[in-house]
Amino acid sequence: MKIKLLSVLTVFFVFSSTALSAGFSDVPGDHWASQEISELSEAGIIGGFQDGTFKPERTVSRAQAAALIGRTLELDVTSIQNPGFTDITENTTGYRYIAKLTELGIFNQAAQFNPNQSLTRSQMAKILTESFSLTGSSMKRFSDLTPGGEAATYAGTLYKAGITTGTSSSTFSPNAPVLRANMAVFLSRTLEFLSDNPDGNAGTDYTEPSAIEKEILRLVNIERQNEGLQPLTFKAEMQFLADLKSKDMADNNYFDHTSPTYGSPQEMVAYFGYPWSYVGENIAAGYPTAQAVVKGWMESPGHRANILNENYTHIGIGHYEGGYYGDYYTQMFLRE
């Protein structure tokens, strides 16, 4: 499928290199999805209606979604297997694409396909991820998706690839229908991502703690042990936030608990959809070693109080080299 997709990408980006008019009476040039609709229309992936309209606010059916994906992948549907759905026939819109995509495992085999049912956002996330072999994961959480669940995994991949950011900063709206304009944008972003990342890998937000970050944790836990407190353990989500905050300070030339990008520590936690409210933060800059920065924190009453807070159970530690001070450090504490 990826080999066939290359020709689509070539045609698609020839058209996307110049501004296009959508060519539909209800999609003016200033429509928010005009460019994406134009690109897909010119590439022969998506079409309009006989009256010259596109109907961008109309929902996409599951059968229509199958046809869109099939055309984008240029699937060979000359030979197909009966998918076994009782509610579709060879006359159903997109039948051959439905059959081929089911054969490929994109659609699950079941008694019914529900061809006229609106495609939901969670279904969209799955078929885009599976059809285009997208990989990658994000530490972003959506409050309306179960962490670690299938829908959250697919949504995280699309979020990391920049294909969708959700319906708000904290929600994905998995059961909401996908509109035709939305589908055009999602497909366009997918093709753009694949043009830049032919292997389909968006990477991951999380990186293992570095040697200096592990040493900071070791020294912190020695201080806690000296006070009869339980040791802290790394938490992946807090590690991600701490790394991000240290880099943010260096990149944006500030040194403060309130980030111009993410807000306060509590706001940053909420921004990424994490459910915790009992959090704390220590920051430092300019210290050359783990020993020096921990010593500096322990000599500051406020920072010392965070390190020795008996309520905290987990921590994330971020060290970033760069910026005005050379070394930036963040500790993100959590009571879980």
SS (HEC) of the chain: CHHHHHHHHHHHHHHHCCCCCCCCCCCCCCCCCHHHHHHHHHCCCCCCCCCCCCCCCCECEHHHHHHHHHHHHCCCCCCCCCCCCCCCCCCCCCHHHHHHHHHCCCCCCCCCCCCCCECEHHHHHHHHHHHCCCEEECCCCCCCCCCCCHHHHHHHHHHHHCCCCCCCCCCCCCCCECEHHHHHHHHHHHHHHHHHCCCCEEEECCCCCCHHHHHHHHHHHHHHHHCCCCCCEECHHHHHHHHHHHHHHHHHCCCCCCECCCECHHHHHHHCCCCCCCEEEEEEECCCCHHHHHHHHHCCHHHHHHHCCCCCCEEEEEEEEECCCEEEEEEEEECC
Contact criterion met (CB below 8 Å) for 85 and 111: yes
State pTM to two decimals: 0.76
For 25, phi then psi, to 5°, come to -65, -25
Q: What is the pLDDT, as a whole number, of residue 275?
A: 85
Return the domain boundaries, the chain: 2-60+118-204, 211-334
Which pLDDT tens digit goes with each residue over 83-122?
A: 999 999 999 999 999 999 999 999 999 999 999 999 999 9
At residue 223, does pLDDT exceed 90?
yes
Q: 52: left (phi > 0), else alpha (psi -120 to 50), else beta?
A: left
As a whole number of angstroms, the distance between CA 60 and CA 26 comes to: 17
The closest alpha carbon to 280, from 313, 236, 250, belongs to: 313
To the nearest whole number, what is the mean pLDDT of the chain? 92
Mean pLDDT along residues 199-224 = 95
Give the confidence band of 5 by pLDDT, cuts at 50, 70, 90.
Answer: low
β partners of residue 284:
329
At residue 18, does pLDDT exceed 90?
no
| CATH 3.20.20.70 holds for 211-334 | no
At residue 19, does pLDDT exceed 60?
no
At residue 3, does pLDDT exceed 50?
no
Q: What is the pLDDT, as a whole number, of residue 10?
A: 45
Contact criterion met (CB below 8 Å) for 115 and 139: no
**Other beta carbons within 10 Å of 230:** 11
Contact criterion met (CB below 8 Å) for 231 and 240: no
